Chains A and B, each alone.
Chain A
Amino acid sequence: MKSVYALFDTGEAAQRAVNSLRSAGYGERDITVMTAAPMEEFEFSHIGRHSYQWYIACGGGLLGLVLGTWLTTYAETSWPIVVGNMPIVPWYPNIIVIFELTMLGAVLSTVATLIVTAGLGRRTPALYDPEVTSGAILVGIGTPRADGDVEQILGAVPGARVKTV
């Protein structure tokens, strides 16, 4: 089954296209909108806004914290050597290492999440048009329904350049 999409030059047109697709019964999941830059002032840009990134980052941080705590205590106790009259497991110095690893955990988990949830690093899906990056706004349906009138709906919007892949 082919994907159908249309390119628009203005946000308004794109918005109109999205709205008519919605009224035709297509839901958030089916509609794909691509822009060269975030266009927060248009409603369509809110599609797929919800995510758990913040929580995952915190989780990553927590992981780093545990790791750091274990690493320092383990390393120091595994071969206890006295220096400068300090305890074998000195908390103040360890906190520094623990802190760094915590932050590292948070950062790495964030990036990982991004790559996974944004579907980066995979083969580019069929539904795409190089014009997007140079300013055109793409509105399309990955998998139209059998009674596919998507071409008409999109074509109805003035200034739409409808394509199928």
Chain B
Amino acid sequence: MIRQDRLTRTLLKPLERPGVGWMLVVGVLAVVVAFGGFAWSFMMWEGFGLTGKRWPVFWGFLITNFVFWIGISHAGTLISAILRLVNAGWRRPVTRCAEVITAFALMIGGLFPLIHLGKPWLFFWLVPYPNRRLLWPNFRSPLVWDFFAISTYLTSSLLFLFLPLIPDFALIRDQSTGLRKTIYGTLALGWRGTTQQWHRLETAMQIMAVAIIPVAVSVHTIVSFDFSMAPVPMWHSSIFGPYFVAGAIFSGIAGLIIAMAALRRVLGLQEYLEPIHFENLGKLLLTMSLLWGYFTFNERLTAWYGNDVAEMNTFAATQTGSYSPLFWTMVTVNFVIPVIILSIRRFRTITGCVIASVGIVVGMWLERFLIIVPSLGHKFLPYSWGTYSPRPVEIAITVATFAAMALLYTLFAKFVPIISIWEMRAGAHTQESAPTRESVPVDARLGESHS
């Protein structure tokens, strides 16, 4: 007979037959996504001119979204990898919801280099294979680097998400019958939970964690290269790599906090996603906010002090010019508000963190926009300056991506336990760690931090 402890019961509950509310949410989201898809097709049909792109601002909303979503993707895998390596005990309930964000954000973000093409139907020309005349893509082009970085990151992130799922799939397999059993059975790959398997899995996860951190860092660095490789005022700067990575993690954590808060509320996971988790993530967010402020200051100061003619024009456009409202909003929501909220313990509540996070998500989107557009609009020859404002298709597609994120997340949470059951158990064991006859060498354990 199968005994179901409380943990399993609560964590498997969301997998039960969906309710009307769930259906409704999925339905609405699906419609929004579909509309975005329609907008894109329409754009392909009519011509790229439906966007607000113009001479000389040839990149706008779409590339902003690209950078933004790739940034968001740095929440999951990177965070959970770091937490696994440092063995932060509080990571256990967090890691999976984080890794899921990565997977989906990457899928969405990776779509934009395709969407923004003048001839999207030829996107595969970016893929490194020789064409009929044996001509390969140009490996000197940052866009090709993007291809390698993103595909590597996506592959490893998906695996990184999947491996720890195997034991949970096994659990579901053993607790269900019929079609469901076969499906989860297949996914479980015949997992039995022998000590060997546990060791292999743990080690594999360790290696993945080690490998994925540099990959994640490289991904957003390379995204930043898309800009810093070009001789464009305020783009051509060596700070962009770290600046983008920091920004990515920053927005990622914010996204994660929002997701967790939602899960907690909707799936009733109050007792697993505890305030302590938000507290800790909040601290992390505060650090990143300060780091972001530090980078931004560096970037602005060097431009301002260097006083290069072209750079100063862009600088002025954002500092005092037509883009200044956006700029100062960004500074407020990315730095001022988060630092106030998160540095005061009393405010570092779940609500506080969520408020800060929402602001940050908006602010980081703005940051990407402000990096791309004003620079392109203020290149070296003032006669050729220009401005940019989005047109309906771009807005529709942008909205659709957020809907897509929510949709994918909702669906995932419906079919997969969003908190890793076995890892929670492992955590539980270590808490009540009972005395054993054989003395256990310290190194023999995955040295849990008993805090």
Contacts and interface: CB of A to CB of B under 8 A. Distances in A.
Are A and B close enough to touch in the complex, i.e. CB under 8 Å? Answer: yes
Contacts of A93: 139-140, 145
Interface in B249-267: none
A45 interface: yes
Contacts of B195: 33-35, 44-49
B95 interface: no
A119 B218 CA distance: 33
A113 B163 CA distance: 12
Contacts of B284: none
B145 A96 contact: yes
Contacts of A36: 167, 171, 193, 422, 425
A41 B429 contact: yes
Contact of A37 (B2, B137, B175, B429): B429
B197 A75 contact: no
B451 interface: no
B3 A135 contact: yes
Q: Number of contact residues on B: which range applies?
A: 35 or more
A61 B207 CA distance: 11
Given A33-B195, A41-B436, A72 B159 contact: no
B171 A134 contact: yes
A3 interface: no
B46 interface: no
Contacts, number: 217
B130 to A, nearest CB: 7
Q: Number of contact residues on A: which range applies?
A: 35 or more
Given A47-B196, A78-B134, A101-B148, A11 B434 contact: yes
Contacts of A51: 199-200, 203
Contacts of B433: 41
Contacts of A15: 436-438
B426 A115 contact: no
A48 B196 contact: yes
B163 A111 contact: yes
B68 to A, nearest CB: 22
A37 B140 contact: no
B340 interface: no
A97 interface: yes
Interface stretch (B25-33, B118-126, B209-217, B407-415): B209-217
Nearest to A64: B152
A52 to B, nearest CB: 10
A57 B207 contact: yes
A104 B156 contact: yes
A81 B189 CA distance: 48
B208 A110 contact: yes
A118 B201 CA distance: 8
B148 A100 contact: yes
B204 interface: yes
A146 to B, nearest CB: 24
24 contacts: A11-B436, A32-B194, A37-B422, A38-B422, A41-B433, A41-B434, A41-B445, A43-B440, A44-B195, A46-B444, A48-B194, A57-B211, A75-B128, A83-B140, A96-B225, A97-B144, A103-B218, A114-B204, A120-B166, A120-B189, A124-B192, A133-B170, A133-B175, A134-B5
